[in-house]
Protein backbone atom coordinates (compact mmCIF):
# COMPACT_ATOMS: atom_id res chain seq x y z
CA UNK A 1 0.00 0.00 0.00
CA UNK A 2 1.25 3.50 -0.83
CA UNK A 3 0.82 6.31 1.71
CA UNK A 4 1.03 9.98 0.67
CA UNK A 5 1.87 12.56 3.31
CA UNK A 6 2.92 16.14 4.03
CA UNK A 7 4.53 17.42 7.22
CA UNK A 8 4.01 20.79 8.88
CA UNK A 9 1.30 23.11 10.16
CA UNK A 10 -1.48 23.74 7.66
CA UNK A 11 -2.88 26.60 9.81
CA UNK A 12 0.09 28.79 8.93
CA UNK A 13 0.65 27.44 5.42
CA UNK A 14 3.90 25.81 6.42
CA UNK A 15 3.62 22.44 4.80
CA UNK A 16 6.27 20.31 3.19
CA UNK A 17 6.08 18.92 -0.32
CA UNK A 18 4.07 15.76 -0.71
CA UNK A 19 5.98 12.51 -0.22
CA UNK A 20 4.99 8.89 -0.40
CA UNK A 21 6.17 5.56 0.94
CA UNK A 22 5.14 1.95 0.49
CA UNK A 23 4.27 -0.32 3.41
CA UNK A 24 5.83 -3.75 3.77
CA UNK A 25 4.25 -6.80 2.09
CA UNK A 26 1.87 -8.72 4.36
CA UNK A 27 3.35 -11.72 6.16
CA UNK A 28 3.64 -14.70 3.86
CA UNK A 29 6.42 -16.93 2.57
CA UNK A 30 6.29 -15.64 -1.00
CA UNK A 31 6.55 -11.87 -0.56
CA UNK A 32 9.57 -9.91 0.68
CA UNK A 33 10.78 -6.32 0.62
CA UNK A 34 12.87 -6.03 -2.54
CA UNK A 35 16.03 -4.82 -0.81
CA UNK A 36 16.71 -4.23 2.88
CA UNK A 37 19.54 -1.81 3.63
CA UNK A 38 21.45 -2.44 6.88
CA UNK A 39 23.43 0.48 8.30
CA UNK A 40 25.32 0.90 11.57
CA UNK A 41 27.17 3.68 13.40
CA UNK A 42 26.37 6.24 10.73
CA UNK A 43 27.02 9.67 12.27
CA UNK A 44 27.15 12.82 10.23
CA UNK A 45 30.42 13.15 8.32
CA UNK A 46 31.50 13.19 4.70
CA UNK A 47 31.81 9.40 4.99
CA UNK A 48 28.22 9.23 6.28
CA UNK A 49 27.15 11.20 3.17
CA UNK A 50 28.90 8.73 0.89
CA UNK A 51 27.19 5.84 2.69
CA UNK A 52 23.71 7.36 2.41
CA UNK A 53 24.17 8.36 -1.25
CA UNK A 54 25.29 4.80 -1.92
CA UNK A 55 22.28 3.39 -0.04
CA UNK A 56 19.91 5.60 -2.05
CA UNK A 57 21.53 4.39 -5.26
CA UNK A 58 20.80 0.81 -4.16
CA UNK A 59 17.09 1.70 -3.83
CA UNK A 60 16.07 -0.13 -0.63
CA UNK A 61 12.45 -0.82 0.35
CA UNK A 62 13.34 -0.90 4.06
CA UNK A 63 16.21 0.49 6.11
CA UNK A 64 17.49 -1.16 9.29
CA UNK A 65 19.62 1.08 11.53
CA UNK A 66 21.51 -0.98 14.10
CA UNK A 67 22.33 1.82 16.55
CA UNK A 68 24.66 4.80 17.08
CA UNK A 69 22.77 7.15 14.82
CA UNK A 70 23.98 10.76 15.12
CA UNK A 71 26.91 10.93 17.59
CA UNK A 72 25.25 14.13 18.83
CA UNK A 73 26.29 13.03 22.33
CA UNK A 74 29.90 14.04 21.81
CA UNK A 75 29.44 17.02 19.52
CA UNK A 76 29.81 19.78 22.13
CA UNK A 77 32.75 18.23 23.98
CA UNK A 78 34.78 17.53 20.86
CA UNK A 79 33.82 20.77 19.12
CA UNK A 80 32.46 18.67 16.29
CA UNK A 81 35.89 17.17 15.60
CA UNK A 82 35.24 13.76 17.09
CA UNK A 83 37.73 11.57 18.93
CA UNK A 84 38.68 8.02 18.15
CA UNK A 85 38.80 7.33 21.90
CA UNK A 86 36.50 9.77 23.66
CA UNK A 87 37.32 8.71 27.21
CA UNK A 88 41.08 8.88 26.45
CA UNK A 89 40.86 12.37 24.94
CA UNK A 90 38.35 13.77 27.43
CA UNK A 91 38.85 11.88 30.69
CA UNK A 92 37.23 14.66 32.69
CA UNK A 93 34.15 15.16 30.53
CA UNK A 94 31.38 14.61 33.08
CA UNK A 95 28.78 13.21 30.74
CA UNK A 96 28.32 12.73 27.04
CA UNK A 97 25.73 15.43 26.73
CA UNK A 98 23.19 15.61 23.96
CA UNK A 99 23.12 18.43 21.42
CA UNK A 100 19.70 18.65 19.84
CA UNK A 101 20.63 20.81 16.80
CA UNK A 102 22.91 17.95 15.76
CA UNK A 103 19.94 15.56 15.91
CA UNK A 104 17.90 18.02 13.81
CA UNK A 105 20.72 18.26 11.27
CA UNK A 106 20.94 14.49 11.07
CA UNK A 107 17.18 14.33 10.45
CA UNK A 108 17.52 16.75 7.53
CA UNK A 109 20.52 14.81 6.25
CA UNK A 110 18.48 11.59 6.24
CA UNK A 111 15.35 13.15 4.70
CA UNK A 112 16.05 12.15 1.05
CA UNK A 113 16.00 8.53 2.23
CA UNK A 114 13.61 8.47 5.18
CA UNK A 115 10.91 10.63 3.51
CA UNK A 116 10.17 7.73 1.18
CA UNK A 117 11.60 4.54 2.72
CA UNK A 118 10.51 3.09 6.09
CA UNK A 119 13.41 3.02 8.58
CA UNK A 120 13.49 0.86 11.71
CA UNK A 121 15.96 1.72 14.47
CA UNK A 122 17.43 0.20 17.61
CA UNK A 123 19.42 2.02 20.25
CA UNK A 124 23.22 2.05 20.53
CA UNK A 125 25.48 3.34 23.28
CA UNK A 126 25.61 6.81 21.67
CA UNK A 127 21.86 7.07 22.21
CA UNK A 128 22.22 6.74 26.01
CA UNK A 129 22.93 10.51 26.39
CA UNK A 130 22.84 10.60 30.21
CA UNK A 131 21.32 13.70 31.80
CA UNK A 132 20.64 14.77 35.38
CA UNK A 133 18.54 12.55 37.64
CA UNK A 134 19.51 9.44 35.70
CA UNK A 135 17.55 10.42 32.60
CA UNK A 136 18.75 8.57 29.51
CA UNK A 137 17.82 7.84 25.89
CA UNK A 138 15.56 10.93 25.62
CA UNK A 139 16.40 11.77 21.99
CA UNK A 140 15.97 8.16 20.85
CA UNK A 141 12.69 7.75 22.73
CA UNK A 142 11.26 11.08 21.61
CA UNK A 143 12.31 11.09 17.98
CA UNK A 144 11.46 7.54 16.91
CA UNK A 145 8.23 5.55 17.00
CA UNK A 146 8.67 1.79 17.11
CA UNK A 147 5.94 -0.90 17.25
CA UNK A 148 6.51 -1.86 20.88
CA UNK A 149 2.83 -2.20 21.77
CA UNK A 150 2.08 -4.05 18.55
CA UNK A 151 4.81 -6.55 19.33
CA UNK A 152 3.71 -6.81 22.99
CA UNK A 153 7.05 -5.62 24.35
CA UNK A 154 5.71 -2.30 25.65
CA UNK A 155 9.28 -1.02 25.51
CA UNK A 156 10.91 1.08 22.80
CA UNK A 157 14.21 -0.60 23.67
CA UNK A 158 13.21 -3.94 22.14
CA UNK A 159 10.43 -4.94 19.77
CA UNK A 160 9.66 -6.96 16.65
CA UNK A 161 7.92 -6.52 13.31
CA UNK A 162 7.19 -8.40 10.11
CA UNK A 163 8.19 -7.39 6.59
CA UNK A 164 6.61 -9.96 4.25
CA UNK A 165 8.05 -13.38 5.03
CA UNK A 166 10.70 -12.01 7.39
CA UNK A 167 10.25 -11.51 11.12
CA UNK A 168 12.64 -8.93 12.58
CA UNK A 169 13.55 -8.88 16.26
CA UNK A 170 15.26 -5.73 17.54
CA UNK A 171 16.99 -6.27 20.89
CA UNK A 172 18.25 -3.83 23.52
CA UNK A 173 21.82 -4.32 24.69
CA UNK A 174 21.71 -1.33 27.06
CA UNK A 175 18.72 -2.51 29.10
CA UNK A 176 18.38 -5.70 31.14
CA UNK A 177 19.09 -8.71 28.93
CA UNK A 178 19.40 -11.31 31.68
CA UNK A 179 17.40 -14.54 31.70
CA UNK A 180 15.46 -13.26 34.70
CA UNK A 181 14.49 -9.97 33.02
CA UNK A 182 11.44 -8.77 31.11
CA UNK A 183 13.27 -8.45 27.80
CA UNK A 184 14.27 -12.10 27.92
CA UNK A 185 10.75 -13.30 28.73
CA UNK A 186 9.34 -11.09 25.96
CA UNK A 187 11.93 -12.52 23.52
CA UNK A 188 10.96 -16.05 24.49
CA UNK A 189 7.26 -15.28 23.89
CA UNK A 190 7.97 -13.48 20.63
CA UNK A 191 10.07 -16.36 19.26
CA UNK A 192 7.40 -18.83 20.36
CA UNK A 193 4.71 -16.86 18.54
CA UNK A 194 6.59 -16.75 15.22
CA UNK A 195 4.87 -18.87 12.61
CA UNK A 196 7.66 -19.99 10.28
CA UNK A 197 5.07 -20.98 7.65
CA UNK A 198 4.17 -17.29 7.37
CA UNK A 199 7.55 -15.74 8.15
CA UNK A 200 10.20 -18.36 7.40
CA UNK A 201 13.04 -15.91 8.00
CA UNK A 202 13.83 -14.67 11.49
CA UNK A 203 16.38 -11.86 11.59
CA UNK A 204 17.62 -10.37 14.86
CA UNK A 205 19.48 -7.09 15.31
CA UNK A 206 21.08 -5.24 18.19
CA UNK A 207 23.98 -2.86 18.55
CA UNK A 208 27.15 -4.50 20.01
CA UNK A 209 28.26 -7.78 18.38
CA UNK A 210 28.76 -11.04 20.24
CA UNK A 211 31.11 -12.37 17.59
CA UNK A 212 33.86 -9.90 16.78
CA UNK A 213 37.53 -10.49 16.01
CA UNK A 214 38.55 -6.83 15.95
CA UNK A 215 40.54 -5.44 18.87
CA UNK A 216 37.87 -2.79 19.37
CA UNK A 217 35.00 -3.93 21.65
CA UNK A 218 36.44 -7.47 21.73
CA UNK A 219 34.23 -9.67 23.97
CA UNK A 220 32.62 -6.51 25.32
CA UNK A 221 29.10 -8.00 25.35
CA UNK A 222 30.06 -11.53 26.30
CA UNK A 223 27.61 -11.35 29.26
CA UNK A 224 24.71 -10.74 26.85
CA UNK A 225 25.83 -13.62 24.64
CA UNK A 226 25.97 -15.97 27.60
CA UNK A 227 22.43 -15.02 28.61
CA UNK A 228 20.67 -15.01 25.25
CA UNK A 229 22.54 -17.04 22.64
CA UNK A 230 20.98 -20.42 23.52
CA UNK A 231 17.47 -19.02 23.06
CA UNK A 232 18.22 -17.59 19.60
CA UNK A 233 19.83 -20.90 18.66
CA UNK A 234 16.90 -22.93 19.97
CA UNK A 235 14.52 -21.01 17.71
CA UNK A 236 16.86 -21.12 14.72
CA UNK A 237 17.32 -17.42 14.13
CA UNK A 238 18.72 -17.14 10.60
CA UNK A 239 20.69 -13.89 10.58
CA UNK A 240 21.96 -11.43 13.22
CA UNK A 241 22.97 -7.86 12.34
CA UNK A 242 25.13 -5.72 14.64
CA UNK A 243 27.12 -2.49 14.57
CA UNK A 244 29.33 -0.86 17.26
CA UNK A 245 32.63 -2.06 15.77
CA UNK A 246 33.52 0.45 13.06
CA UNK A 247 34.38 -2.01 10.33
CA UNK A 248 32.84 -4.91 8.43
CA UNK A 249 32.89 -8.54 9.51
CA UNK A 250 30.82 -11.54 8.44
CA UNK A 251 30.86 -14.71 10.51
CA UNK A 252 30.42 -18.34 9.50
CA UNK A 253 27.40 -19.96 11.13
CA UNK A 254 28.40 -20.34 14.75
CA UNK A 255 27.04 -21.28 18.16
CA UNK A 256 28.95 -20.95 21.42
CA UNK A 257 32.13 -20.08 19.49
CA UNK A 258 31.89 -23.39 17.58
CA UNK A 259 31.07 -23.68 13.89
CA UNK A 260 27.51 -24.96 13.64
CA UNK A 261 25.36 -25.22 10.46
CA UNK A 262 22.28 -24.36 12.55
CA UNK A 263 23.67 -21.25 14.19
CA UNK A 264 22.84 -17.78 12.84
CA UNK A 265 24.97 -15.94 10.31
CA UNK A 266 26.31 -12.95 12.29
CA UNK A 267 27.18 -9.80 10.34
CA UNK A 268 28.69 -6.59 11.74
CA UNK A 269 28.14 -3.39 9.77
CA UNK A 270 29.29 -0.69 12.19
CA UNK A 271 31.02 0.87 9.20
CA UNK A 272 28.52 3.63 8.40
CA UNK A 273 31.19 6.35 8.50
CA UNK A 274 31.00 8.17 11.83
CA UNK A 275 33.49 10.65 13.24
CA UNK A 276 35.30 8.08 15.42
CA UNK A 277 37.01 6.63 12.33
CA UNK A 278 37.34 3.04 11.14
CA UNK A 279 38.64 0.17 13.32
CA UNK A 280 41.72 -1.44 11.80
CA UNK A 281 43.33 -3.73 14.40
CA UNK A 282 42.42 -7.37 14.88
CA UNK A 283 42.62 -9.01 18.31
CA UNK A 284 44.77 -11.72 16.70
CA UNK A 285 47.34 -9.23 15.35
CA UNK A 286 50.68 -9.50 17.22
CA UNK A 287 50.52 -7.37 20.35
CA UNK A 288 46.91 -6.29 19.75
CA UNK A 289 45.04 -8.65 22.04
CA UNK A 290 43.22 -6.32 24.44
CA UNK A 291 43.45 -6.70 28.19
CA UNK A 292 40.27 -8.18 29.60
CA UNK A 293 39.10 -4.84 31.01
CA UNK A 294 40.10 -2.68 28.03
CA UNK A 295 36.61 -2.95 26.55
CA UNK A 296 34.13 -2.15 29.28
CA UNK A 297 30.49 -2.18 28.19
CA UNK A 298 28.42 0.94 28.85
CA UNK A 299 25.81 -1.41 30.29
CA UNK A 300 26.17 -4.74 32.06
CA UNK A 301 29.24 -6.48 33.39
CA UNK A 302 32.39 -8.16 32.15
CA UNK A 303 32.15 -11.87 31.36
CA UNK A 304 35.37 -12.39 29.46
CA UNK A 305 36.35 -15.95 28.81
CA UNK A 306 39.38 -17.83 27.66
CA UNK A 307 38.48 -20.36 24.99
CA UNK A 308 38.14 -23.89 26.34
CA UNK A 309 38.60 -25.76 23.08
CA UNK A 310 39.80 -25.30 19.52
CA UNK A 311 42.91 -23.55 18.22
CA UNK A 312 42.66 -20.74 20.81
CA UNK A 313 42.21 -23.13 23.77
CA UNK A 314 43.30 -21.52 27.03
CA UNK A 315 43.72 -18.07 25.47
CA UNK A 316 41.68 -14.88 25.47
CA UNK A 317 42.60 -14.06 21.85
CA UNK A 318 43.24 -16.20 18.82
CA UNK A 319 46.66 -16.17 17.15
CA UNK A 320 45.11 -15.95 13.67
CA UNK A 321 41.73 -15.03 12.18
CA UNK A 322 39.24 -17.17 14.13
CA UNK A 323 37.53 -19.95 12.16
CA UNK A 324 34.14 -18.38 12.92
CA UNK A 325 35.21 -15.14 11.21
CA UNK A 326 34.58 -15.59 7.48
CA UNK A 327 35.48 -12.16 6.11
CA UNK A 328 36.56 -8.88 7.67
CA UNK A 329 37.60 -5.54 6.20
CA UNK A 330 38.25 -2.09 7.60
CA UNK A 331 36.28 0.01 5.13
CA UNK A 332 33.17 2.16 5.45
CA UNK A 333 30.06 0.85 3.73
CA UNK A 334 26.59 -0.67 4.13
CA UNK A 335 24.82 -3.94 3.39
CA UNK A 336 21.84 -4.96 1.29
CA UNK A 337 19.77 -8.07 2.05
CA UNK A 338 17.62 -9.41 -0.79
CA UNK A 339 15.40 -12.27 0.34
CA UNK A 340 14.59 -14.38 -2.71
CA UNK A 341 12.24 -16.96 -1.17
CA UNK A 342 11.90 -19.02 2.00
CA UNK A 343 15.26 -20.70 1.33
CA UNK A 344 17.61 -18.17 -0.24
CA UNK A 345 18.66 -14.62 0.62
CA UNK A 346 21.44 -12.71 -1.08
CA UNK A 347 23.63 -10.56 1.17
CA UNK A 348 25.88 -7.93 -0.39
CA UNK A 349 28.25 -5.60 1.44
CA UNK A 350 28.96 -2.38 -0.47
CA UNK A 351 32.18 -0.49 0.27
CA UNK A 352 32.01 3.30 0.15
CA UNK A 353 35.08 3.58 -2.06
CA UNK A 354 33.31 1.51 -4.72
CA UNK A 355 30.35 3.90 -4.92
CA UNK A 356 31.70 6.05 -7.70
CA UNK A 357 33.10 3.38 -9.99
CA UNK A 358 31.82 0.05 -11.19
CA UNK A 359 29.98 -1.06 -8.07
CA UNK A 360 31.76 -4.32 -7.31
CA UNK A 361 30.45 -6.02 -4.15
CA UNK A 362 32.86 -5.92 -1.25
CA UNK A 363 31.44 -9.21 0.00
CA UNK A 364 28.55 -11.29 -1.32
CA UNK A 365 26.97 -14.59 -0.29
CA UNK A 366 23.74 -16.50 -0.53
CA UNK A 367 22.43 -17.29 2.94
CA UNK A 368 20.54 -20.58 2.80
CA UNK A 369 17.89 -21.73 5.26
CA UNK A 370 17.91 -25.47 5.91
CA UNK A 371 15.06 -26.07 8.36
CA UNK A 372 14.97 -29.83 7.82
CA UNK A 373 18.63 -30.09 8.73
CA UNK A 374 18.16 -28.07 11.90
CA UNK A 375 15.04 -29.73 13.39
CA UNK A 376 13.00 -26.64 14.11
CA UNK A 377 11.32 -26.29 17.45
CA UNK A 378 8.91 -23.72 16.05
CA UNK A 379 5.71 -24.06 14.06
CA UNK A 380 7.25 -24.70 10.67
CA UNK A 381 5.57 -26.79 8.03
CA UNK A 382 7.71 -29.38 6.38
CA UNK A 383 6.46 -28.34 2.95
CA UNK A 384 8.48 -25.65 1.23
CA UNK A 385 6.48 -22.85 -0.37
CA UNK A 386 5.38 -23.19 -3.94
CA UNK A 387 8.24 -22.84 -6.36
CA UNK A 388 10.96 -23.43 -3.82
CA UNK A 389 12.89 -26.55 -2.91
CA UNK A 390 14.93 -27.06 0.19
CA UNK A 391 18.55 -27.62 -0.59
CA UNK A 392 20.66 -30.41 0.83
CA UNK A 393 23.54 -29.35 3.01
CA UNK A 394 26.44 -28.51 0.76
CA UNK A 395 29.09 -27.81 3.34
CA UNK A 396 29.58 -27.83 7.12
CA UNK A 397 28.27 -24.29 7.02
CA UNK A 398 24.97 -23.69 5.30
CA UNK A 399 26.19 -20.32 4.14
CA UNK A 400 27.02 -21.01 0.54
CA UNK A 401 29.67 -18.87 -1.03
CA UNK A 402 29.43 -18.75 -4.77
CA UNK A 403 31.40 -17.11 -7.51
CA UNK A 404 29.85 -13.98 -8.99
CA UNK A 405 29.11 -15.78 -12.29
CA UNK A 406 27.29 -18.57 -10.46
CA UNK A 407 25.32 -16.03 -8.43
CA UNK A 408 24.34 -14.15 -11.56
CA UNK A 409 23.16 -17.36 -13.19
CA UNK A 410 21.29 -18.38 -10.05
CA UNK A 411 19.55 -15.00 -9.78
CA UNK A 412 18.56 -15.23 -13.43
CA UNK A 413 17.08 -18.71 -12.98
CA UNK A 414 15.17 -17.63 -9.92
CA UNK A 415 13.88 -14.54 -11.70
CA UNK A 416 12.90 -16.40 -14.88
CA UNK A 417 11.50 -19.63 -13.52
CA UNK A 418 10.90 -19.04 -9.85
CA UNK A 419 13.01 -22.08 -9.02
CA UNK A 420 16.05 -22.62 -6.94
CA UNK A 421 19.05 -24.50 -8.23
CA UNK A 422 21.16 -26.69 -6.03
FE1 LIG B 1 28.48 1.81 19.59
DSSP string, 183-212: HHHHHHHHHHH--TTT--EEEEE-SS-SS-
Distance 140 CA to ligand 1 centre (A): 14
pLDDT at 153: 97
Write 157-160 long-range contacts (CB < 8 A, 24+).
Answer: 157/123, 157/183, 158/122, 158/183, 158/186, 158/187, 160/190
Q: Is 345 helix (H, G, I), strand (E, B) or coil?
A: strand
In tens, the pLDDT along 280-322 reads: 999 999 999 999 788 999 999 999 889 988 889 999 999 999 9
pLDDT at 86: 72
Distance 350 CA to ligand 1 centre (A): 21
Distance 368 CA to ligand 1 centre (A): 29
Is the pLDDT assigned to residue 378 strictly greater than 90?
Answer: no
pLDDT at 340: 98
Average pLDDT, stretch 257-263? 96
Average pLDDT, stretch 361-379? 84
Least confident of 312-321, 338-347, 376-385, 413-422: 413-422
Catalytic choice (126, 217, 246, 350): 217
Instruction: Report the distance separating Cα 217 and Cα 342, nearest Å.
Output: 34
Is the distance from CB of 77 to CB of 85 less than 8 angstroms?
A: no
Distance 229 CA to ligand 1 centre (A): 20
**pTM of the predicted model as reported, rounded to 2 decimal places:** 0.88
Is the distance from CB of 348 to CB of 328 less than 8 angstroms?
A: no
Q: What is the mean pLDDT of the chain?
A: 88
List all residues 6 or more positions away from 147 whose beta carbon is below 8 Å from its beta carbon. Answer: 159, 160, 161
Distance 195 CA to ligand 1 centre (A): 32
pLDDT at 98: 86
**Catalytic annotation on 217?**
yes
Distance 242 CA to ligand 1 centre (A): 10
Amino acid sequence: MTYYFKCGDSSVQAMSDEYSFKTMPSPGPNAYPSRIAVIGDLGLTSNSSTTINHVIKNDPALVLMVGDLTYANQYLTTGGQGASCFSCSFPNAPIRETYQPRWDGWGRFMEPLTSRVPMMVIEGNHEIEPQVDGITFQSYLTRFAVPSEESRSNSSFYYSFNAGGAHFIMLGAYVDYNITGTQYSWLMDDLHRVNRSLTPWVVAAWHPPWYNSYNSHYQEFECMRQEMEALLYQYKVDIVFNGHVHAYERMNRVYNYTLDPCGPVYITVGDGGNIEKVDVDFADDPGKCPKPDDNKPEFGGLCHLNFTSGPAKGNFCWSKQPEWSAYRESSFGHGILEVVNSTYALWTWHRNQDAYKEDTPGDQIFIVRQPKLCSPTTKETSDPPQGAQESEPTSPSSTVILSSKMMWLMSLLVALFGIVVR
